């Protein structure tokens, strides 16, 4: 593999990893802070992608679609938390798994009813629809670089929110001891609702910006969910930093694995997980 | 004899007489339910009695089914007495192999890694040529029960299949009943109750959990084998997480931690599925909504309905 091909695969791996991080961070945030395992998290990614498709077809602009989509997903997150997830706080894992599994079924069928089961493409916005030439035969799409940049920016903003703001402080306190925070007079229910909405919005946003690259298809929620689980297991649940490291690791392993050993394509990720399970079962950066 | 035993015997008698009462369609339907009941029982050992919530149990179900599919020659029947133990053994070994990795982790991690490994098996059968890909395998002949020149029953006959599965269901039920009363089974329940305490008492908790996982996998393989035998067809969807989710649903429908609950749950699930499928092609929407409502309003499963009703009538403590 020459330098330029290697560079292309490296960039692809990083971009995939960063996108995964966006989705996985929502999952690990919701579990780390609220103690809820949400199997339907992949569905939010799918919903984001389908929203990008339908809204951009309607408005003609992906940017506008993304803005509207973010607002809609925050509303969805707030409604879901209020209606369903607030019941799950002290319940055991089996019940959380089942309720969120039921939610996946509901989302999939609703999508089937509303938009159908077809695979769709979303066109890359004209602003980014060009490539940087690397050699006379190879070039790299600028949209992918844009995606990576957006993910890095969001990761930084997330860190800022959690580590440096008052809301972030309340979130971290609520993760340690929910009752204490409530008895100190802070509205922990509102905090949880916001955290959940944030998680949903992150996953949906990831689906929206990934749509032009990975196309919009019915099974996308499931595939991203499983990989996110692997990310969380490797990174350690509740740890955003772990999610970032693990996502990048998986992004690179999967991309290079597919290129170097195409027969074993999907298995590289699981192999990685198996190794981590043998070596450090609680994840690389366990928080709780 | 107490009331519960009488009720149980009555149900068994009903099941035994059933094929003579209804059309072949219903005989086959109840056979399918009994096979799913075996599947649910196998998961109940893991979830209800050892406290390990696995979301990847369908992998071993599917592996048992594929063993029959792969061992059946194209132009003649396979031997039941060879393929059935093979399916149980292979599924059990697969579960043992996965268990070595997953039993190291607990709680949420366990759920996630069991799902991840199940997906790995799913992709193995779906994307590679090992299981002939996404089309699956069609078997031209049902396995034959011939042994020593004598064929005691014909697995092509729906009534014979019904009773064969019925007997296996009873055997599995008795096996688990005895296992759970043995010191091994008691230890598993102790682990479900409080793992740290068991460890401090000197139990090798990892080995017990691994054994439970392997046994549950082997029994799931048995159910998968029977399913392949009944339908004459295997495909990767047997290992899908929908299958894993459905069997967990059966447990919560019937009430986990109870062998009879597992069987009841299987019946309830298939009943629900049949009803919903007759109403609309988008039946999964109804199923999903039912699951959500069930978790929010009836966490103890259908079994708890009787308890709640009784308490409303005559009063008593909320948490018995």
Q: Please count the other Cβ atoms lying within 10 Å of the Cβ belonging to residue A173.
A: 16
- Is the pLDDT at B319 greater than 60? The verdict is no
User: Is the CB of A106 less than 8 angstroms away from the CB of B292?
Assistant: yes
pLDDT (tens digit per residue) in B4-63: 778 788 888 888 888 887 788 888 899 999 999 999 999 999 998 998 999 999 999 999
Q: What is the pLDDT along chain A (288 residues), one digit of tens a residue?
A: 678 888 888 989 999 999 999 999 989 888 888 888 899 999 999 999 999 998 888 888 888 889 999 999 999 999 999 998 888 887 888 888 889 999 999 999 999 988 888 888 888 887 788 888 777 777 888 888 888 999 999 989 988 888 888 888 888 787 777 778 878 888 888 888 999 999 999 999 999 999 988 888 888 898 899 899 889 888 887 778 888 999 999 999 988 888 887 776 677 888 888 888 888 877 787 654
User: Which residues in chain B have their CB less than 8 angstroms from residue A91's CB?
Assistant: 295, 299
User: Is the CB of A278 less than 8 angstroms away from the CB of B256?
Assistant: no
User: Is the CB of B245 less than 8 angstroms away from the CB of A98?
Assistant: yes
User: Which residues in chain B have their CB less than 8 angstroms from residue A94's CB?
Assistant: 47, 53, 248, 251-252, 256
What pLDDT is recorded for position A42?
93
Q: How far is CA B311 from the centre of its chain?
A: 32
Question: For residue A4, what are its two tokens?
Answer: 């330029």
Probe site for chain B from A89, A90, A106 (most B CB atoms < 10 A): A106
- Angstroms from A171 CA to nearest CA on chain B: 21
What pLDDT is recorded for position A265?
67
* Tokens 């592996």, residue located: B63
User: Is the CB of B288 less than 8 angstroms away from the CB of A281?
Assistant: no
Instruction: Identify the helix (H) or strand (E) that includes residue A285.
Output: none
Probe site for chain A from B120, B242, B247, B290 (most A CB atoms < 10 A): B120
Q: Which of B105, B249, B288 sits opposite A106 (nearest CB)?
A: B288
Gap between the Cα atoms of A274 and A117, Å rounded: 34
What pLDDT is recorded for position A236?
83
What pLDDT is recorded for position B312?
66
- Angstroms from A142 CA to nearest CA on chain B: 32
- Angstroms from B206 CA to nearest CA on chain A: 13
User: Is the CB of B245 less than 8 angstroms away from the CB of A101?
Assistant: yes
Highest mean pLDDT among A28-37, B169-178, B302-311: B169-178
User: Which residues in chain A have their CB less than 8 angstroms from residue B289's CB?
Assistant: 102, 106
Beta strand pairing call for A131-133 and B233-234: unpaired
User: Is the CB of A98 less than 8 angstroms away from the CB of B107?
Assistant: no
Residues 63-122, chain B, touching A (beta carbon < 8 A) = 101-102, 104-105, 107-109, 111-113, 115-117, 119-120
Gap between the Cα atoms of B225 and B83, Å rounded: 9
| A273, closest residue in chain B (CA to CA) | B113
Provide the β-strand partners of residue B147. Answer: B150
What pLDDT is recorded for position B209?
95
Gap between the Cα atoms of B180 and B174, Å rounded: 10
Sign of CA pseudo-dihedral B271, B276, B278, B284: negative
Gap between the Cα atoms of B88 and B244, Å rounded: 18
What pLDDT is recorded for position B307?
57
pLDDT (tens digit per residue) in B66-93: 999 999 888 888 888 899 999 999 999 9
- Is the pLDDT at B318 greater than 60? The verdict is no
User: Which residues in chain A have their CB less than 8 angstroms from residue B287's CB?
Assistant: 102, 105
pLDDT (tens digit per residue) in B99-133: 999 998 888 889 989 998 998 899 888 888 887 88
Q: Which residue has the higher pLDDT, B202 or A268?
A: B202
Average pLDDT over residues B195-217: 94
User: Is the CB of B248 less than 8 angstroms away from the CB of A37?
Assistant: no
Gap between the Cα atoms of B250 and B237, Å rounded: 18
Q: Where are the beta strands (DSSP E) in A115-262?
A: 131-133, 139-141
What pLDDT is recorded for position B39?
96
User: Is the CB of A273 less than 8 angstroms away from the CB of B113?
Assistant: yes
User: Is the CB of A226 less than 8 angstroms away from the CB of B119?
Assistant: yes
User: Which residues in chain B have their CB less than 8 angstroms from residue A101's CB?
Assistant: 245, 248-249, 288, 291
Provide the β-strand partners of residue A178. Answer: none
What pLDDT is recorded for position B281?
86
- Dihedral angle at the C-alpha atoms of B31, B37, B38, B43, nearest 10 degrees? 160
Provide the β-strand partners of residue A141. Answer: A131
What pLDDT is recorded for position B320?
42
DSSP for A59-86?
Answer: HS-HHHHHHHHHHHHHHHHHHHHHHTGG
User: Is the CB of A226 less than 8 angstroms away from the CB of B55?
Assistant: no
- Angstroms from B42 CA to nearest CA on chain A: 16
pLDDT (tens digit per residue) in A265-275: 677 888 888 88
The model's pTM is 0.88
User: Is the CB of A108 less than 8 angstroms away from the CB of B101?
Assistant: no
User: Is the CB of A95 less than 8 angstroms away from the CB of B292?
Assistant: no
Question: For residue A188, what are its two tokens?
Answer: 């922990």
What pLDDT is recorded for position B303?
57
Domain ranges of chain A: 3-218
* Tokens 């959500």, residue located: B292
Whether residue B55 contacts residue A100, with contact meaning beta carbons closer than 8 Å, is answered with no
What pLDDT is recorded for position B178?
95
Gap between the Cα atoms of A283 and A229, Å rounded: 12
**ipTM, 2 dp:** 0.84
Probe site for chain B from A258, A266, A288 (most B CB atoms < 10 A): A266
Q: Give which of B109, B99, B103, B117 is closest to A286, Cα–Cα.
A: B109
What pLDDT is recorded for position A140?
84
User: Is the CB of B115 less than 8 angstroms away from the CB of A229?
Assistant: yes
DSSP B239: G
Q: Give which of A37, A18, A20 is closest to A29, Cα–Cα.
A: A37
Gap between the Cα atoms of B56 and B91, Å rounded: 13
């Amino acid at each position: 593999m020459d330098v330029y091909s290697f560079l292309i695969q490296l960039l692809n791996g990083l971009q995939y990893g960063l996108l995964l991080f966006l989705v996985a961070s929502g999952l690990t945030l919701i579990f780390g802070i609220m103690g809820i395992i949400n199997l339907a998290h992949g569905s939010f990614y799918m919903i984001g992608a389908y929203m990008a498709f339908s809204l951009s077809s309607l408005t003609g602009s992906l940017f506008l679609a993304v803005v509207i989509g973010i607002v809609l997903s925050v509303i969805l997150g707030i409604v879901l938390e209020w209606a369903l997830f607030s019941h799950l706080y002290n319940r055991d894992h089996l019940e959380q798994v089942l309720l969120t599994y039921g939610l996946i079924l509901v989302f999939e069928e609703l999508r089937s009813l509303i938009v159908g089961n077809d695979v769709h493409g979303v066109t890359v916005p004209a602003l980014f629809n060009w490539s940087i030439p690397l050699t006379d035969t190879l070039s790299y799409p600028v949209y992918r670089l844009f995606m990576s940049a957006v993910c890095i920016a969001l990761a930084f903003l997330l860190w800022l929110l959690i580590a440096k703001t008052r809301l972030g402080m309340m979130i971290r306190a609520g993760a340690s001891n929910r009752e204490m925070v409530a008895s100190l007079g802070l509205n922990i229910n509102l905090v949880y609702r916001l955290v959940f909405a944030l998680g949903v919005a992150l996953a949906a946003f990831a689906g929206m910006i990934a749509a032009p690259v990975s196309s919009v298809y019915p099974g996308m929620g499931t595939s991203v969910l499983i990989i996110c689980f692997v990310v969380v297991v490797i990174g350690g649940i509740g740890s955003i930093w772990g999610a970032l490291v693990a996502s990048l690791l998986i992004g690179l392993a999967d991309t290079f694995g597919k290129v170097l050993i195409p027969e074993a394509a999907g298995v590289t990720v699981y192999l990685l997980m198996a190794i981590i399970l043998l070596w450090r079962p609680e994840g690389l950066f366990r928080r709780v | 004899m107490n009331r519960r035993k009488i009720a149980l015997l009555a149900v068994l008698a009903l099941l035994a007489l059933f094929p003579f009462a209804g059309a072949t369609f219903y005989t086959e339907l109840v056979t399918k339910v009994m096979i799913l009941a075996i599947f649910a029982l196998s998961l109940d050992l893991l979830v209800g009695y050892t406290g390990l919530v696995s979301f990847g149990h369908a992998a071993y179900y599917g592996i048992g089914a594929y063993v029959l599919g792969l061992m059946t020659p194209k132009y003649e029947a396979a031997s039941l007495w060879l393929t059935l133990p093979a399916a149980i053994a292979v599924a059990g070994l697969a579960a043992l192999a996965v268990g070595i990795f997953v039993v190291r982790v607990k709680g949420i991690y366990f759920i996630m890694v069991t799902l991840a490994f199940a997906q790995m098996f799913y992709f193995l059968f779906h994307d590679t040529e090992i299981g002939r890909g996404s089309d699956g395998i069609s078997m031209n002949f049902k396995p034959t029960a011939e042994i020593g020149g004598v064929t005691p029953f014909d697995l092509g006959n729906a009534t014979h299949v019904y009773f064969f599965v019925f007997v296996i269901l009873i055997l599995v039920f008795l096996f688990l009943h005895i296992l759970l009363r043995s010191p091994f089974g008691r230890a598993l329940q102790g682990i479900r109750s409080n793992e740290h305490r068991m460890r401090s008492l000197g139990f090798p908790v990892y080995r017990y959990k691994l054994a439970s996982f392997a046994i549950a996998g082997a029994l799931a393989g048995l159910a998968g084998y029977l399913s392949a035998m009944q339908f004459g067809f295997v495909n990767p969807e047997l290992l899908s997480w929908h299958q894993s989710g459905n069997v967990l649903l059966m447990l919560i429908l019937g009430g986990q931690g109870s062998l009879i609950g597992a069987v009841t749950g299987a019946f309830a699930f298939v009943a629900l599925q049949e009803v919903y499928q007759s109403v609309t092609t988008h039946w999964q929407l109804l199923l999903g909504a039912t699951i959500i409502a069930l978790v929010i309003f009836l966490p103890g499963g259908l079994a708890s309905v009787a308890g709640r009703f009784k308490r409303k009538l005559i009063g008593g403590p909320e948490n018995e």
